[in-house]
Structure 1
Amino acid sequence: MELFFLAVLVLSMATALGSGYPVAFALPGAAIITILLAGLSGLVFAGDASAYFHSGDPQQWLSAGVTNLRGVFWEVERDTLIAIPLFIFMGIMLQRSKIAEDLLVTMAQLFGPVPGGLGISVVFVGALLAATTGIVGATVVAMGLISLPAMLRNNYSPSLATGTIAASGTLGQIIPPSIVLIILADQLASATDQASTTRKALHKASTGELSMPSSFDVSSTSAGEMFLGALVPGILLVLIYMAYILIYAFFKPSAAPAVKVEGKFDRAFWGSVALTLIPPLTLIFLVLGSIITGVATVNQAGAIGAAGAMVMAGYRLYEGPNKKLTYVPAIIGLVALVGLAFLIKNFEMNLKSVDTAQDQMGISLGMIASGMLIVSVVWSGWRVFRTHGTLDGVMMETAKTTSLVFIILLGAAMLTSAFRAFGGEELVREFLNSLPGGFWTQFLIVMLVIFILGFFLDFIEIAVVVVPIVAPILLADPSANITAVWLGVMIGLNIQTSFLTPPFGFALFYLRGVAPATVKTMQMYKGVVAFISLQLLALGVVGFYPPLVNYLPNRAAFLSETAPPPRNPRLQYCMEEFVGRDLTDGTAGFEQAIARMQGVDLSGLPDRMAKDLAEGFAAGPEAIASLKEAFAMEDAVEEAAVIYRPKQILVRRIEKEIRKLEEEAADITTIANRMRDEEQAPRRARMEARRDAMLAEAEQLKGEIPETWEPVHDEFAKLTTAEQKARTSYQRNADKSWEAAAEALATLEDNEAFAALEGELRDLRGFIETVSETDPAGEDTVKALEDKFGEVEGAGDVKSALGKARRDLRVGKFNRETALEDYNDAVAEFEAQKVWRANAEGLKPELQAYLDGIRGTLGLRSQPRLDREAALFMASCSSTHRDISLNF
């Protein structure tokens, strides 16, 4: 019956949507009606309202839906949601202020003389509009109204013209900042948590270990990372479109002729191009650049975009009598921004850290610049408000679009809850996991379903209904080990493709609404076929080469101030690859640094320090040997995996089916044990019989596991354990090779600070001899000197002896004689250190050269952060998807 009510849920939703019922009410309405119907049917026919639910009861699932609604509603301050109205405002403002129209006209004049140039200008402007609005309908309609008449007037093929406009209009799905990417990031962040839990459970079930290494965990994503990940695929798609139009025009000039431009390419023309093109490009670079560089969050970048669009609209729509004032608000804002950038770079602008007159001056100038920026935005906003009610229209359109997004989010939360109530999520998971071919078969099926759903549903419904169900399944698979940002970009590209596909593509409907009657619908269908093929090509390229998506987010993360430290367990594999690169290409300078220290005389150092240094110098060659052994074992594992992997896949599939049967049997046992009434005895007997059948089937499946599995698994486990042991040995020895020398150098570099305390130490004797036993200053004075020695590297023994003397001077426990003995111990230790510190002064250059030689290799794990070379290598290395299924 669960399947029946699941079908009722899906059919009622599809019927409501197909009849034109608003999506915001169709989604939660179908959920509530189905849950109530299932509860009532269970109560009438089975005497239990929860009888036809996968688990729980109607009240639980209705409250779960309400909880989801409240969760979305009360957490709108989340980074991924607050940015939505800001970017919508930015895009609509640029369109209503006719800046988009100016862009198209100017680019058409610039590229017109080139065959296919008008089409290229449409793609270019479409990409710019995509980077400002991210709303397909608005972009396609604007491009259709502005560019289609011009293309038809200049004898462009109707098919090519409509195909170019429709394809360019859908770029807003993938080019950041995109509303699609923001919503996908929000949904994938939750999916990542579920996938992580699933993968940990899988690791425990497969290996028996209680905890999974963090390096095997699922990587999450954010809106900023999604923007970065989609940037290169978006640019790739634009370049593919432009290349296609140029090639088409080359072979068929009559379909995309050159356009004769009136006027000359003189200084006035180029000035007009600069004035039209530079401001929107600057705004886009400011928005995306602030996110990429980490200067601003996605929310803050959205605010920058909204304010910038208002300033640009302020001078574009100005109709006042004094034309000299046209650009004054924009100039004030530009001067304020330049001033703030200069002040932030050269002054301390944090109010809590201000402590000098210079800092005070910087804060004062910053307040003036901020005031100028506010004046610029308010002045521009007033102009937009007074000009044809533009601001009213933009605000109303922004409110409508934002409300649509959020209401659908709320409705989808209820629908998802109902889908899970009837076991839909598990049904999908079981179906995908049962498919032959592993992850890639699952992935292709999911992408095909999303592609088809794109004919009927808007991107919001797909993102909030489908993605939460399928994403955890795909992300949890260790054989692909994909990143959430890659999956999000692939889904975004897929949704974009479906928007073009006849006969239901949304972009085609939008364009049909503004296209003249002379353009036939079949011509539009014919025109988009080539662009659909190009999008599928781009989808295949991005799928085949994940670094196109993963590299930029990784690069930004590893080069940022908040980059993970080199000791982060998730980084170790790539860090070892980085060090191993020097071993294989013959440029391992750190080997020479290690060899040079082997013959250094350490006899003048204290025994403990000399021993630590000797062990540290010896650990370097051991680390290199361990790393080479790890690489050799890695090759051995890969070689053995050819035979082991098919058997592992078979056994893990059988074990998964066994676990499923045993878990279901345990659930049935729990439910049956609660049925103690005589009236429930027949149903209990049926459930117990079903449980026994499940357990029998599980036993039968256990017999299907090959007898050779255990020895094969144990032999393979020896190889993986040996590899991990070698890697652990490398890490331990690499750390030791750095730490002893770094500690010794830090000690010697504090020689001057150590010697500077001699006078205070000598004077302390007289103080101890004369201090009164009731004077608390005795303990305080020694404590002050003790703290000073504590700040000197390597002076711990002196500090410890002074600490004993301090305790002897406590009021109530005063013992002058013992305090003087402890003081003498401190002086003796000081004298001993003074001697060996002076003798070891010549070691400083050697130790410094040694540390410099191994800093970027063996010493990399001990650094506070990655250097640029290592960070870039890490970004590249971690951009590929590494199969980790052999560890499961």
Structure 2
Amino acid sequence: MEWLPLLMFVCVCLMLLLGYPVALTLSGTALLFAGLGVAGGHFDNAYLHALPNRVFGVMENTTLIAVPLFVLMGVMLEKSRLAEELLGAMAALLGGLRSGLALSVLLVGALLAASTGIVGATVVTMGLMSLPSLRARGYSDSAATGMICATGTLGQIIPPSIALVLLGDILSTSYQQAQLSMGIFNPKTVSVGDLFVGALLPGLLLVLLYALYLLVWVRPVMPRDAATATITVSRWQLLQTLVPPVLLIVAVLGSILAGAATPTEAAGVGAVGAMLLALCKRQLNLTRLREVLRSTVEVTSMVFLILIGAALFSLVFRGFGGEELVSDYFHSMPGGTTSALLVVMVVIFLLGFILDFIEITYVVIPIVGPILLAMGVDPVWLGVMVAINLQTSFLTPPFGFALFYLRGVAPAAIPTAAIYRGVLPFIAIQLLLLALLAVWPQLATWLPDKVYG
């Protein structure tokens, strides 16, 4: 009976590989095992009675209001053709550099990732918009596709990221559980704002490492003059294109850093700012607003349906003694906390091949989070490590989600093997960043300590 929780987890993974919807797979598998457990007298159905409270807890959670608001902000910016104008402006600004277009794609992708926080939207948008230009100006298929996939996944780590919002919410609960298990009855909390601030330096460092790689190793075949001859833009056009989105991101993150707004309030600022930006660019009408709202409702509904399924799964998992099983395993491992962290990171990396970050956040983190935090792991550092780990997983062949997104919009003439080759250097850079964070956790914890004391 003690292996039933692990068997339940394996069944969920198998059902997902067969293509069944995530939310229904989580809840259906949990109910099936709970029914078998009750029939065999090995499961207390009082755990299922706690489900309504869990669902109402999700509905009443003010932190999660940031999810639809950030989704609205990202979809609005995507529909307003902001990225297309940004790419042209950045290409003109960096046209004097031999790898200027590659750096333009990186910086626009980073800005778009910070604006939308959605990996799929960024990869698809950048693939449709920049891949033809990169190939026309002499970049190899592997280099062009690699940089697009890599910049698209920056939405996992650069705030305001939906992944960080969900991670922050779960880690806050896990941190309180960990402290209560240690006899601390006035527990401290960790907020989404802490995670945003903690992810800022690692995110900027990752962009810098990408830029160094593009400058040193990625060169177009076409001469510099020919590559930049068609790119012209006035300074006024450059300011008009660059300043509004930068100001929007500064307003969202700046209000959080200054303590003037919570992440949820800042998400409201971002959503309203994105609509005003689209209105100023004459890209906002009733038809487009209807499209944006429909996309926002679809994404938000998917997220919250997965949350309900994950809540049911975690309750049944806990009812079968899964938490005690994992805790005993971690504490009995040689190497203590370091070995436990390594195992968790490897498992999350592998799960990233078959699960999206939402499922991993709400299924895996509630199980392992309280245990690791009770072992002394810093919650902000753990959240940043998980986000970068998932970002690396989404980029790794042959199952990385970013590769599938780009394969769907890339021309058939580009072989899949070229996409796989192109992402390998960026995977190495992300692994380097994970190693740096493991050696110097202060990269993630120093700024939150300075901002929040």
TM class, shorter-length: over 0.9
Match of 1:6 in 2: 5
Contact map agreement 1:116 1:258 (CA 8 A) in 2: no
| More RCO (CA 8 Å, sep 6+) | 2
**1:455 shift after superposition:** 0.8
Give the 5 Å matches for 1:528-543.
528-543=423-438
The secondary structure found in structure 1 opposite 2:24 is helix
State the Cα deviation string for residues 644-676 of structure 1 (Å, max 9, x = none).
xxxxxxxxxxxxxxxxxxxxxxxxxxxxxxxxx
Please say if residues 6 and 322 of structure 2, whose CA atoms lie closer than 8 Å, have aligned partners that are also in contact: no
Give distance in 1, aligned partners of 2:324 and 2:224: 56
- Note if contact 1:237-1:535 (Cα within 8 Å) is conserved in structure 2: yes
Structure 1 match to 2:362: 464
Q: How much has 1:463 moved relative to structure 2?
A: 0.5
Cα separation, 2, equivalents of 1:219 and 1:452: 32
Whether the 8 Å CA contact 2:145–2:423 is kept in 1: the answer is yes
Cα distance in 2 for residues equivalent to 1:259 and 1:224: 46
Question: 1:722 matched to which residue of 2?
Answer: none
Q: Identify if the C-alpha distance between structure 1 residues 264 and 72 changes in structure 2 by more than 3 Å, giving closer, same or farther.
A: closer
Q: SS of the counterpart of 1:131?
A: helix
Any conservation in 1 of the 2:95–2:231 contact (CA below 8 Å)? no
Please list the CA deviations of residues 324-354 of structure 1 after superposition, one character each: whole Å capped at 9, or x if unmatched: xxxxxxxxxxxxxxxxxxxxxxxxxxxxxxx
- Match 1:451 to one of 349, 355, 359: 349
- 1:241 deviates by 0.3
**Of residues 428, 433, 443 in structure 1, which corresponds to 2:326?**
428
Closer, same or farther in 2 for the Cα pair 1:194/1:506, shift >3 Å? Answer: same
The match for 2:113 among 130, 135, 140 is: 130
How far, CA to CA, are the matches of 1:182 and 1:121 in structure 2? 28
| Matches of 1:316 and 1:126, distance apart in 2 | 20
Asked if structure 1 preserves the Cα contact closer than 8 Å seen for 2:388 and 2:430, the reply is: yes
Q: 1:189 to 1:169 in 2, by over 3 A?
A: same
For residues 214-249 of structure 1, the C-alpha deviation after alignment (integer angstroms, 9 at most, x for no partner) is: 9xx975310111111101100000000000010103
Aligned residue number for residue 119 of structure 1: 102
Q: Take 2:54 and 2:193, find their aligned partners in 1: how far apart are those partners?
A: 24
**Per-residue CA distance 1:264-307 (angstroms, 9 max, x = gap):** 87xx6111111100000011001100110011111111111111
Which residue number in structure 1 is paired with residue 74 of structure 2? Answer: 91
- Whole-Å separation in 2 of the counterparts to 1:179 and 1:255: 39
**Alpha-carbon separation, structure 2, partners of 1:196 and 1:259:** 62
CA–CA separation in structure 1 for the residues paired with 2:90 and 2:406: 21
Give TM-score scaled by structure 2 length: 0.96
The residue aligned with 2:27 is 28
What CA distance in whole angstroms lies between the structure 1 residues aligned with 2:91 and 2:98?
12
Closer/same/farther in 2, CA of residues 197 and 110 from structure 1, 3 Å limit: same
Residue 414 (str. 1) matches residue 312 (str. 2): yes
Distance in structure 2 (CA, Å) of the matches to 1:25 and 1:534 = 36
Q: Give the TM-score normalised by structure 1.
A: 0.50
Question: Partner residue of 2:262?
Answer: 297
| Residue 510 (1) aligns with residue 410 (2) | no
The CA distance in 1 between the partners of 2:142 and 2:223, in whole Å, is 11
Post-superposition offset of 1:253: 5.2
1:811-868 alpha-carbon deviations (Å, 9 max, x no partner): xxxxxxxxxxxxxxxxxxxxxxxxxxxxxxxxxxxxxxxxxxxxxxxxxxxxxxxxxx
Residues 86, 303 of structure 1: 8 Å contact kept: yes
**Which residue pairs with 1:236 in the alignment?**
205
For residues 160 and 188 of structure 1, the distance between their equivalents in structure 2, rounded to whole angstroms, comes to: 37
Count matched residues.
453
Q: Distance in 1 between matches of 2:328 and 2:235?
A: 61
Tell me what 1:38 maps to: 37
Counterpart CA distance in 1 for 2:321 and 2:311 is 16
The Cα offsets for residues 682-711 of structure 1, whole Å up to 9 and x where unpaired, read as: xxxxxxxxxxxxxxxxxxxxxxxxxxxxxx
What secondary structure does 1:499 align onto?
helix
Match of 1:487 among 355, 376, 382: 382
In structure 1, what is the Cα distance between the partners aligned to 2:175 and 2:165? 15
Counterpart of 1:787 in structure 2 is: none
Distance 2:130 2:136 in 1: 10
| C-alpha displacement of 1:425 | 1.2
**What are the Cα deviations for residues 470-524 of structure 1, in whole angstroms up to 9, with x where unaligned?**
11111111xxx33211111111111111000000000000000000011110000
What does residue 340 of structure 2 align with? 442
When residues 264 and 28 of structure 1 are mapped into structure 2, their CA distance, relative to the original with a 3 A threshold, is closer
**Matching residue of 1:385:** 285
Shift of 1:315: 2.2
Is the contact made by 1:218 and 1:483 (CA closer than 8 Å) also made in structure 2?
no
8 Å Cα contact 1:116/1:256 also seen in 2: no
Matches within 5 A, 1:330-369: none
Contact kept? 1:220, 1:485, Cα under 8 Å = no
- Whole-angstrom CA distance in 2 between matches of 1:431 and 1:493: 25
User: Secondary structure in 2 aligned to 1:138?
Assistant: helix
1-side partners of 2:81 and 2:290: how far apart? 16
Query: Residue 107 of structure 1 aligns with which residue?
Result: 90
Cα-to-partner distance string for 1:139-181 (whole Å, 9 max, x where unaligned) = 1000100011110111101111111000000000000000000
Query: 8 Å contact 1:485–1:549 — kept in the other structure?
Result: yes
Task: Give the drift of 1:70.
Answer: 2.8
Matches within 5 A, 1:553-568: 553-558=448-453
Secondary structure of the corresponding residue to residue 163 of structure 1: helix
For each residue in 1:111-133, what CA deviation from the matched residue of structure 2 results, as whole angstroms up to 9, or x when unmatched? 23312211111110111011111
Change in 2 beyond 3 A, CA 1:474/1:2: closer
Mapped partners of 2:329, 2:226: distance in 1: 55
Cα distance per residue 1:745-768 (max 9 Å; x no partner): xxxxxxxxxxxxxxxxxxxxxxxx
Q: Are the aligned partners of 1:27 and 1:415 in contact in 2 as well (CA < 8 Å)?
A: yes
CA RMSD of aligned residues (A): 1.9
CA distance in 2, matches of 1:496, 1:195: 26
Counterpart-to-counterpart distance in 2, 1:453 and 1:264:
43
Residue correspondence of structure 1 range 174-185 to structure 2 within 5 A: 174-185=157-168
* Contact 2:140–2:220 (8 Å) recurs in 1: no
Please tell me the residue identity of whatever aligns with 1:30.
T
Matching of residues 626-637 of structure 1 within 5 Å: none
Tell me, yes or no, if structure 1 residue 61 matches structure 2 residue 26. Answer: no
Alpha carbons of structure 1 residues 483 and 104: separation in structure 2 relative to 1, 3 Å: same
How many Å apart are 1:316 and its aligned residue?
Answer: 1.7
Q: CA deviation at 1:258?
A: 6.7
1:162 equivalent in alignment to 2:145: yes
C-alpha distance 151-258 of structure 1, shift in aligned 2 (>3 A): farther
Distance in 2, matches of 1:22 and 1:282, equals 39
- 1:220 matched to 2:189? The reply is yes
Equivalent AA in structure 2 for residue 450 of structure 1: I
Q: Which amino acid aligns with 2:255?
A: S
Contact residue 219 and residue 484 of structure 1 kept, 8 A: no
Mapped to 2, the partners of 1:27 and 1:264 lie a distance apart of: 50
| Alignment equivalent of 2:221, drawn from 254, 257, 269 | 254
Distance 2:111 2:188 in 1: 31
Q: Distance in 1 between matches of 2:223 and 2:169?
A: 42
